[in-house]
Amino acid sequence: MSKNLSHLSGRQGLENNLFDQLGIAARSSGTPDAEALDKLQHEFLFGKANIYGTVSFYDFLKEENKGKRIFICNGSSCMTADTQDNVKNKISKEFEPSEIGEMCCLGRCHENGSFHYEGRNYSGNSIDHLSAIISEHKFISDQYTTESYGTPIVTVPYPDAAEYYQLFLECLKKSPDDLLSELKISGLRGRGGAGFPIAFKLGACRESPGDTKFIVCNADEGDPGAYSDRYIMEHRPHALLMGMLIAGYITGAEWGVLYIRAEYPESISIIADAVTQLELLKLTGKNIGGSGFNFNFKIIKAQGAYICGEETALLSSIEGQRPEVRVRPPFPTQQGLFNKPTVVNNVETLSCIPFVMQKGGQSFADIGKGKSTGTKLVSLDGYFNRPGVYEVDMGTPMAVVFNDLGGGFKEPVKAIHIGGPLGGLVPLHKMTELTLDFESFSQNGFLLGHASFVCIPDSFPIVEYIKHLFKFTAHESCGKCFPCRLGSTRGYEMLEKATTTDYKIDMTLMTDLLETLEIGSLCALGGGLPLPVKNALQYFSDELKMYFK
């Protein structure tokens, strides 16, 4: 990350954003042409190599994306569901190979068979209507179960926007310190995987000197199996926007940036409509409600890079830089977007803030278990009889989540990968020992993370799954640190060789590789990959022993 490039990118503010402009330049052909890049290079005073480094990184900007018209999901859930060969075969009858691309997880894990065409996502049996989708522009929306178990916080319906935002206007009559105090009492922790207390971030940003500050919503929900953030953006958008407004008031930030993944086109349009509503209600802009508080929203459409779920890579992405992980300190609350104090939180975390302000921090703290207060959204995939998004009180037994809410499994399952590609790979027999909270998973050697659930059926080889995880990490690595960039590639190569030849992996070599990844990686992509691999080696040793010396 170059601080100079951060300053240069920020010269024109968020309204004229370099990353936005690169996406606009790629719309017609799938990649920006040389003339457009040359123009942007001079406009933003970026070097040619810097612009090229950015464009060549993203799936939907790079040269290989040129001419792509339709995209097939290659996410973990669609892979284990074994739906994508059928999708690819039917798409291949309508499109040339050069027109077919891939996207990683479209958030349609509840019914799989996912693909993307002309700015819309499809799944389930939509592939059987491909001709109508192409010729008649037929759109088939998805449906999934949404319920709460315990106290509804995020899933609770809210009134029309004008009435709902009276809560925000009441917050503006209180001091930022009072609001921050309620968040401290609540114990609200980050729902994106890290579990970091939001009050600490907001307080640190508030205390950091600076006339310009930012609240950034990390809506780059790239964990395969997860679609809870998508649910909020498409069905509870104002809970998210109000959470950002309140966070902005607490910290003194005047900008809220929503970084939404390109794989969620419906989320982008729904959030944009919700922001327009707020503008019409004069709940954005200058001197909101006569309070002296100024705040505006900016939507950034991502361009296909899992690493942008890491907060510092996300900030570099918004700046139009190659999204490489930054070394900390300094932390984003001190030096974030355009080198200004910035708070980055995920969708679900920010959407919990209105409840805390309405009911009080203690009401939130009274829900849950220990330090895992409040509720958590979980995403159940298509192997459950009742797939969907469920809001569950922290501390709820996992048996309740699987059996009472999910309705059990459609066919035998041997393991569940929870929390995205870097989360815990949990054998089914361990589920009865777990409760839905950060501590329970950690104490048992797993990770709750985003609380996405990808089922691995009895018929799916564990070796193929961990090979998929190494390959995924190798593709998505930002490349800045050697352990992640090289280690993930070497891991994939060893497993590929062991499954296709007589080669046997040396366990000492694999253990050393995992330790290097875990200790030496700059962020959780390389550092988190060893966890599910270690889980697999521990609990499925009988299935894997044929590949090792």
**pLDDT tens figures, 376-405:** 999 999 999 999 999 999 999 999 999 999
* pLDDT per residue as tens digits for the range 293-343: 999 999 999 999 999 999 999 999 999 999 999 988 999 999 999 999 999
**Beta carbons of 444 and 429 less than 8 angstroms apart:** no
Tell me how far apart the alpha carbons of residues 478 and 447 are, in angstroms, rounded to a whole number.
23
Pure H helices in 130-224: 130-136, 161-164, 166-171, 176-186, 198-207
Domains (ranges, CATH) in the chain? 70-143 (3.40.30.10), 146-366 (3.40.50.11540), 369-457 (3.10.20.600), 462-547 (1.20.1440.230)
* pLDDT per residue as tens digits for the range 11-61: 888 999 999 999 999 999 999 999 999 999 999 999 999 999 999 999 999
Q: Which helix (H) or strand (E) holds 368?
A: strand 368-369
* Per-residue pLDDT at 196: 87
pLDDT above 70 (res 1): no
Tell me how far apart the alpha carbons of residues 485 and 474 are, in angstroms, rounded to a whole number.
6
Write the single-letter amino acid at 483. Answer: P
**Beta carbons of 503 and 401 less than 8 angstroms apart:** no
* Per-residue pLDDT at 195: 80
* Per-residue pLDDT at 421: 87
How sure is the predictor about 372, in pLDDT bands with cuts at 50, 70 and 90?
very high
> What would the two tokens of residue 138 be?
């037929």
Across-strand partners of 116? 71, 121
**Residue 263 vs residues 117, 121, 144, 222, 450: alpha-carbon distances, Å:** 11, 8, 18, 9, 18
The mean pLDDT of 353-359, rounded to a whole number, is: 98
Tell me how far apart the alpha carbons of residues 245 and 169 are, in angstroms, rounded to a whole number.
10
* Per-residue pLDDT at 257: 98
> What would the two tokens of residue 403 be?
């059996």
Tell me how far apart the alpha carbons of residues 207 and 215 are, in angstroms, rounded to a whole number.
14
pLDDT above 70 (res 425): yes
Q: Which helix (H) or strand (E) holds 416?
A: strand 413-418
**Cα 386 to the chain's mean position, in Å?**
23
* pLDDT per residue as tens digits for the range 404-415: 999 999 999 999
**Residue 107 vs residues 103, 257, 371, 417, 452: alpha-carbon distances, Å:** 11, 21, 29, 16, 10
* pLDDT per residue as tens digits for the range 198-251: 999 999 999 999 999 999 999 999 898 999 999 999 999 999 999 999 999 999
pLDDT above 60 (res 367): yes
* Per-residue pLDDT at 5: 87
Tell me how far apart the alpha carbons of residues 415 and 381 are, in angstroms, rounded to a whole number.
13
* Per-residue pLDDT at 328: 87
- Chain mean pLDDT for the chain: 95
